[in-house]
Amino acid sequence: MPDTTPMPDPLTIALQQIRGLIEAGQLQPAAQALNAVQKQAPTDARVPLVGMRLAQRAGNLAGATQAARRALALAPGWHVAQIELALLLAQQKQGDEAMQLAMQALAGAPKDSQVMVGAINVALFSERPEQTLAWAEDGVRRFPEDAGIRLFLARLLVALGRPRDAQAHYEYIHSRAPEHDETLRGLLSCAMKTGDHEKAAQWADRLFALRPGDANAQYWHAIAHGQTPETQPPEVVTGIFDDYAANFDLHLVRGLQYHVPERVAQILLEKHPNRKFNLLDLGCGTGLVGVYLGRIEGHIIGVDLSEKMIEQAARHGIYSRFHRVNVLDALRETPSEHYEAITCTDVLVYVGDLSPVIPNALRILKPGGHFIFSCEAAGEDEADLVLREKSNRYAHKASAVERQCREAGFDEVVIEDLPALRLEGGQPLPGFLVTARKPLAA
């Protein structure tokens, strides 16, 4: 049969090539080519939309927003421009306008799954948890075979403390993709959360049989069979966070009312009102500490094991450099007296034992510098370090952490109780934030 697909017009081809350059990070040639195209087709709304991508890739959120507005002005009612602008506005906390645009886009393109995904993201970014859930459920009804939307809903349901509901969605995906790792892990985690140890062991065995050499599979296999690994292996951290980053981790965090990085940025700016300091952000993730801090007159160095999380963080253009290494290695290998501040938010829950962490943080700090980190709280009647069965995260006892800081040599240790570190299973998860100061030079 002859191929009857129409040839794309030259403008479409040129725009595709420019998008390729942007994706490859070749921003200078992309900008030149875009200028030329813009002269040829000044009223084509696709041109400013590619300009928006270019500005986004350059970390210029204001420029990207302007470009998306231009596209929408040229093509009012165009759902692609509506949803792109909505996403940008939601990221800038302009939730009302963002939600309105998302609703318009959904009404205009009810059969476009990308618009649905965009709208779900807009709701997440805009911190509308109920609408996020409602749109994710609607998305699964309208696009039952879209694994991305269904996986997102499953994760959201787990986060909302509804593992049984999540399980049904994971099972649906499993029936179509029986070897999909994240789905198998999801099924395993739902079984563990609902206390179905037999099923958990079965899913763990399945994962293990598929990937016997895989550290991830080994770790979950050990847990599902009642053992307690000492720490999470790097492969497990990367496995979890590479998946999250690719699928709206940042947004999920926001949906779960996670405000620790914002609080940490506030403390840093109280300590350094002139914004002159160098910061080492351990387990920087998607770069929320940097985002809340904004630009400083020093360097922010991000350390994280997950490449995908670092990619997200790099988009903000606030961090000077990233190192994709284990925080334990970074702590060991960084020279002494190098930073005015070190942050580590929601990371030590994966690291566990703090004995290699606290003394090295002290060593790396300059005199008078601060180590600011968050922990999930173990009760004072529990062990100093506890591995939580349901979440597989470590909780620390505040009094033990304070003692460790003082014994290492920090002279001022402030512990701020956080009754709701964030939500877990719809419930506040108690934690605490530590601000420990290295003594000033004698």
Q: Enumerate binding residues for ligand SAM (CB under 6 A).
A: 237, 241, 260-261, 283-285, 288, 304-306, 309, 326-327, 345-347, 350-351
**To the nearest whole angstrom, how small is the minimum distance from the Cβ of residue 284 to ligand SAM?**
6
What is the number of other CB atoms lying within 10 angstroms of the CB of residue 14? 19
Distance separating alpha carbons of residues 293 and 303, to the nearest angstrom? 17
Collapse the DSSP code of 303 into the 3-class scheme (helix H, G, I; strand E, B; otherwise coil) and give the result.
strand
Specify the residue, 98 or 347, whose C-beta has the smaller distance to ligand SAM: 347
Residue nearest to ligand SAM (CB): 285
Task: Name the residue nearer to ligand SAM (CB basis): 84 or 424.
Answer: 424
Nearer to ligand SAM, 44 or 376 (CB): 376
Return the closest-CA partner of residue 117 out of 273, 283, 300, 251: 251
| Three-state SS letters, 356-417 | CCHHHHHHHEEEEEEEEEEEEEECCCCCCEEECCCCCCEEEEHHHHHHHHHHHCCCEEEEEE
Burial call 25-47: b when 16+ CB within 10 Å, e when fewer: eeeeebbebbeebeeeeeebbbb
Written as one letter, the residue type at 344 is C
- What CA–CA distance (Å, rounded) separates 327 from 33? 41
Minimum CB–partner distance for residue 274 and ligand SAM (Å)? 24
**Residue 44 near residue 11, CB atoms below 8 Å:** yes
Cβ nearer to ligand SAM, comparing 47 with 327: 327
User: Strand pairing of 394-397 and 385-387?
Assistant: antiparallel
Q: How far apart are CA 62 and CA 85, in angstroms?
A: 11
Question: Closest separation between CB of residue 390 and ligand SAM, Å?
Answer: 16
Q: Which is nearer to ligand SAM, 147 or 291 (CB)?
A: 291
Distance in Å, CB of 306 to ligand SAM, minimum: 4
Q: Taking the complex as a whole, how short is the minimal distance between the CB of residue 150 and ligand SAM, in angstroms?
A: 23
Kindly tell me which of 88 and 260 has the beta carbon lying closer to ligand SAM: 260
CB of 121 to ligand SAM, least distance (A): 17
Contact predicate 251/315, CB 8 Å: no
In contact, 275 and 310? CB cutoff 8 Å: no
Closest approach of ligand SAM to the CB of residue 236, in Å: 9
For ligand SAM, the closer of residues 82 and 312 by Cβ is 312
Q: In Å, what is the CA distance from 84 to each residue of 44, 105, 143, 436?
A: 16, 10, 20, 42
Query: Within 10 A of 231 (CB to CB), how many other CB atoms are there?
Result: 15
Closest CA to 63 of 27, 28, 88: 88
Task: Calculate the CA 21 to chain-centre distance.
Answer: 26
Q: Smallest distance from the beta carbon of 118 to ligand SAM, in angstroms?
A: 23
What's the min distance (Å) between Cβ of 343 and ligand SAM? 7
**Is the CB of 340 or the CB of 346 nearer to ligand SAM?**
346
The nearer residue to ligand SAM, 186 or 261, going by C-beta atoms, is: 261
> Which one, 164 or 332, has the nearer CB to ligand SAM?
332
Q: Based on CB atoms, which residue is closest to ligand SAM, 121 or 306?
A: 306
Query: Is the CB of residue 419 less than 8 Å from the CB of residue 430?
Result: yes
Which residues contact residue 174 at a Cβ distance below 8 angstroms, ignoring those fewer than 6 apart?
Answer: 180, 183, 184, 187
Radius of gyration of the CA atoms of the chain, in A: 24
Nearest-angstrom CA–CA distance, 186 and 171: 9
Least CB distance to ligand SAM at residue 420 (A): 15
